[in-house]
Chains A and B, each alone.
Chain A
Amino acid sequence: MKKRILLTALALMLALSVFGCAKTTVTEEATAEPAETAEPVVMEQTATEVPETTDTPSPEDLLGITILYEQDDAMINNYSLLAVDENAPFVDADGKSVDDVALNTVGAKALIDWMLGDEATELIKNYGYDEYGEYLFYTKEDKPVATAEIPQATDETKTIRLSTTTSVNDSGLMDYLLPVFESEYGYNVEVSSAGTGKAIAAAKMGNADLILVHSKSQEDVFVSDGFAKVLEGYDSERLTFMYNYFVLVGPKDDPAQCAEASDVKDAFKRIADGKYPFVSRGDLSGTHTKEISLWPEELGITTEASSVADYSEWYMYSNAGMGVCLTMANEMDAYILSDKATFLTFRANGGIAG
C-alpha cells in the first residue's frame, strides 16, 4: 500500500516534468516557424505565450498603472551615504552603553571613496539607460568629491556590511555596481536591504559599517544622535551624491485626474478628496516618509498606523517593500508613490521589480 502511494508520488513528479518539458518544446517550435502553421488563432496563442516575439503587447500595456505626475521639485529623491562612527553612543537592549562594537571603518571609507569617485559616478549615470530607455539615477553636480586613494582589502577589512534601502537594491543598482568595486579592490560587500527606517535601526545596533538611504529627516536624526562620522577628506557626515525622482503612479484612466494637478500636493489632495484607493508603504522607508509629507495637512497623516485608522476604506497602510506595493496598486487600481527607478524596472519587466 505504502509502496503504491510512493509510486504515485514519483509518477506525479515525472508527469510534471514531462509536462514542463513538453510545454517548452511546443513554444520553441511555435516561435521557430510561426508562418507555416499559421492559423490566426494559433498565432494569437503563441503571441500571448511568448512575449519576446515582435507584435506582442509591450510590458507597459500589461500594467494597469502608469506614471501620472513627476518631475516636481518637491518630488526629488536624494540618496546619501553615511559611515557609522565606531565611537557612536551605542546602547544595548537595556539601554546600557556598549563601547566595543566591531565596525569596519576602513572598508566603509574605501567603499564611500569609490562610490564618490569618477568610476562609480560614470557607472551610476549610465545605469539602466540601455535597458529602460531612461536614466534611473542622476549624480549630484555638487556631490562631495573623493580624493583619497582606495586601499586594497586586507583580511581584517575585507567584509563590508552595507545597510541600504529596498529602492536601491530592487532597482538592481547594487548588483550592477558592487561587483566592479569588489573585483578591483578585493572587498566583499554584504548588502542587507530594508526600508530606510529599518536600515538605520540596524546601523544603530552596530550591524552595519555604512548606510545608503534616502530620508533626510531620518538621516538628520541619525547624525544628531552621534551615530555618523565625518570621514577624512569630507566636511559632512551626510554625503548626498545621487538623486532621482519620486513619481505618482496610478490607474491609467486616472479617476482623480492627478495628471492635471497644479502641483504634487494638489494631486494628493485630489486623491484624498475623492477617497480613491491609495497604497502606502507603511514601513518607515524613505518613500513612506516622503509620501506623508505630501498629503494635505488637515488629514493629520503621519508614519503611525493609528493616524490613518479613519481612512482605512481608501488608504492602505501595507508595511511592505516597493515591489509588493506596486503589485498591490496594479491589482487594486490604486494610486501609489514610488521612486522612479523601481517603477521603471517594474514596468519594463511586466510587473516585476529588479
Chain B
Amino acid sequence: MTGAFQKAFDLLFSGDAQLWNIVSVTMRMTLTSSIAALLLGAPLGVLYAATRFPGRKILIVINRTLMGLPPVVCGLLCYMLFSGVGPLRELKLLFTVTGMIIAQVILITPIAAGSMETYLSAIVGEIRESARGLRLSGGKTLLLMLNESKYALVSTYLFGFARAMAEVGAVSMVGGAIAYKTNVMTTAIMMYTNRGDFTLGLALGLLLLLISLIVNVFAHLLQRRRA
C-alpha cells in the first residue's frame, strides 16, 4: 500500500506526458459535463419544486428513477446511438470526448434536478409567503428563490462533479479508453488493473482523490463566503 503512495508522488512529479494528458482530458470532461448538467438540472429542479402543472408528479417520479440509472446502461445506450450502425452515426461521436460528455450529462442532469427539488420543496412555502407579503412579482419570487438556494446550488454542483469524475461505466463504453484521446483517470485505473498493475492503478486513484480534494476545498471556501 505504501508503494502506491510513493508511486502516486513519483507520478505527480515525473511530468509524464501520458499522465498529464489523462488528467487534462479528465478535467475537460468533468468540468464541462458537470456544469452543463447543473445548467440543465437546476432550472428543472426549480420547475419541479416551485411550479404546479399537470404531470408534474409523474415527472418527479421519472426523474428520481433516472437518478439511479446505472452508468454502464447509460454508456451502452449512447454506444448504440453513436455506433457506426446507430441512428446518430452521422454525428461521429463514438470514441470522442464530446460523446463522453453527453453520456455524463444524461447521467448527472437528473441528479442535479432531484437534488435542487429536494432542497427547494422544503423552503418554497416560506418563500411564497414572504413574496406575497412583500407583493413581489413572479419573476422576482424566482430570483428570491435562487438567492435562497445558493448554498444548495454549490452542493448540487459538487454532487454532479463527483459523479462525473468518479464514473467509469459510461465513459469506458462511449470513450473506448483510447490513449491520448479518451482515456480518463477512471478508465486508466481499469486499464492498469487489467494488466495486473494494481499499484499504479491505486496511485492514479490517489491522484484522483487529490484533485477532488482541491476542488472541494475551493467550493467549501466559496460556500462559506456566500452562505
Given contact pairs A190-B181, A192-B177, A205-B83, A326 touches B196 in the complex (Cβ within 8 A):
yes
> Is B70 on the interface with A (CB-CB < 8 A)?
no
Checking A16, A192, A207, A321 against B194 with a beta-carbon cut-off of 8 angstroms, the contacting residue is A321
Contact A19 B5 (CB under 8 A): yes
Question: What sequence of 0s and 1s flags, for each residue 220-248 of chain A, a beta carbon within 8 Å of any chain B beta carbon?
Answer: 00000000000000000000000000000
Contact A205 B84 (CB under 8 A): yes
Which residues of chain B from 164 to 210 have any CB-CB distance to chain A below 8 Å in the complex?
176-179, 181, 193-198, 200, 210
Q: Closest residue of chain A to B9, judged by CB?
A: A20
Contact A9 B195 (CB under 8 A): no
Given contact pairs A6-B217, A9-B213, A103 touches B196 in the complex (Cβ within 8 A):
no
The answer for the CA separation of A220 and B213 in the assembled complex, in Å, is 51
Checking B9, B194, B197, B217 against A320 with a beta-carbon cut-off of 8 angstroms, the contacting residue is B194
Contact B196 A351 (CB under 8 A): yes
> Is B138 on the interface with A (CB-CB < 8 A)?
no
> Is B68 on the interface with A (CB-CB < 8 A)?
no
Contact B95 A323 (CB under 8 A): no
Report the count of interface residues on B (CB-CB < 8 A).
33
The answer for the CA separation of A9 and B8 in the assembled complex, in Å, is 18
Contact size range, A: 35 or more
> Is A333 on the interface with B (CB-CB < 8 A)?
no
> Is B58 on the interface with A (CB-CB < 8 A)?
no
The answer for the CA separation of A324 and B179 in the assembled complex, in Å, is 20
> Is B80 on the interface with A (CB-CB < 8 A)?
yes
The answer for the CA separation of A170 and B192 in the assembled complex, in Å, is 10
Taking CB atoms, residues of chain B closer than 8 Å to A192 are 95, 176-178
Which residues of chain A from 42 to 95 have any CB-CB distance to chain B below 8 Å in the complex?
90-93
The answer for the CA separation of A324 and B194 in the assembled complex, in Å, is 5
Question: What sequence of 0s and 1s flags, for each residue 18-38 of chain B, a beta carbon within 8 Å of any chain A beta carbon?
Answer: 000000000000000000000
> Is A180 on the interface with B (CB-CB < 8 A)?
no
Taking CB atoms, residues of chain B closer than 8 Å to A17 are 9
> Is A102 on the interface with B (CB-CB < 8 A)?
yes
Contact A323 B197 (CB under 8 A): yes
Checking A20, A98, A190, A205 against B178 with a beta-carbon cut-off of 8 angstroms, the contacting residue is A190
Checking B10, B179, B224 against A191 with a beta-carbon cut-off of 8 angstroms, the contacting residue is B179
Taking CB atoms, residues of chain B closer than 8 Å to A90 are 84-85
Contact A205 B85 (CB under 8 A): yes
Contact B196 A353 (CB under 8 A): yes
> Is B6 on the interface with A (CB-CB < 8 A)?
yes
Taking CB atoms, residues of chain B closer than 8 Å to A10 are 217
> Is B140 on the interface with A (CB-CB < 8 A)?
no
> Is A285 on the interface with B (CB-CB < 8 A)?
no
Checking B87, B176, B195, B220 against A170 with a beta-carbon cut-off of 8 angstroms, the contacting residue is B195
Given contact pairs A6-B220, A92-B85, A190 touches B95 in the complex (Cβ within 8 A):
yes
The answer for the CA separation of A341 and B55 in the assembled complex, in Å, is 60
Contact A321 B195 (CB under 8 A): yes
Max chain A C-beta neighbours (<10 A), residue from B10, B80, B85, B224: B85
Q: Closest residue of chain A to B175, judged by CB?
A: A192
Q: Closest residue of chain A to B92, judged by CB?
A: A102
Min Cβ gap B92→A in Å is: 7
The answer for the CA separation of A354 and B188 in the assembled complex, in Å, is 13
Which residues of chain B from 82 to 125 have any CB-CB distance to chain A below 8 Å in the complex?
83-87, 89, 92, 94-95
Min Cβ gap B195→A in Å is: 4
> Is B2 on the interface with A (CB-CB < 8 A)?
yes
Question: What sequence of 0s and 1s flags, for each residue 98-111 of chain A, a beta carbon within 8 Å of any chain B beta carbon?
Answer: 10111100000000
Taking CB atoms, residues of chain B closer than 8 Å to A20 are 5-6, 8-9
Contact A206 B85 (CB under 8 A): yes
Taking CB atoms, residues of chain B closer than 8 Å to A326 are 196
Taking CB atoms, residues of chain A closer than 8 Å to B200 are 352
Taking CB atoms, residues of chain A closer than 8 Å to B80 are 93
The answer for the CA separation of A346 and B198 in the assembled complex, in Å, is 13
Taking CB atoms, residues of chain B closer than 8 Å to A323 are 194-197
Q: Closest residue of chain B to A23, judged by CB?
A: B6
Taking CB atoms, residues of chain B closer than 8 Å to A191 are 178-179
Taking CB atoms, residues of chain B closer than 8 Å to A161 are 95
Given contact pairs A102-B89, A190-B178, A206 touches B83 in the complex (Cβ within 8 A):
yes
Question: What sequence of 0s and 1s flags, for each residue 212-224 of chain B, a beta carbon within 8 Å of any chain A beta carbon?
Answer: 0100010010001
| 22 A-B residue pairings within 8 Å (CB atoms) | A6-B217, A6-B220, A13-B213, A16-B5, A20-B8, A21-B9, A23-B2, A24-B10, A93-B85, A102-B92, A166-B194, A170-B194, A190-B95, A190-B181, A207-B83, A207-B84, A207-B95, A321-B194, A323-B196, A324-B195, A352-B197, A352-B200
Closest 3 CB pairs of A and B: A206-B84, A323-B195, A323-B196
Other than the given A16-B5, A190-B95, A324-B193, 19 more pairs (CB < 8 A) read: A2-B220, A2-B224, A19-B5, A20-B9, A23-B2, A23-B6, A24-B10, A92-B85, A92-B86, A102-B89, A190-B181, A192-B95, A205-B84, A205-B85, A207-B95, A321-B194, A346-B196, A352-B196, A352-B200
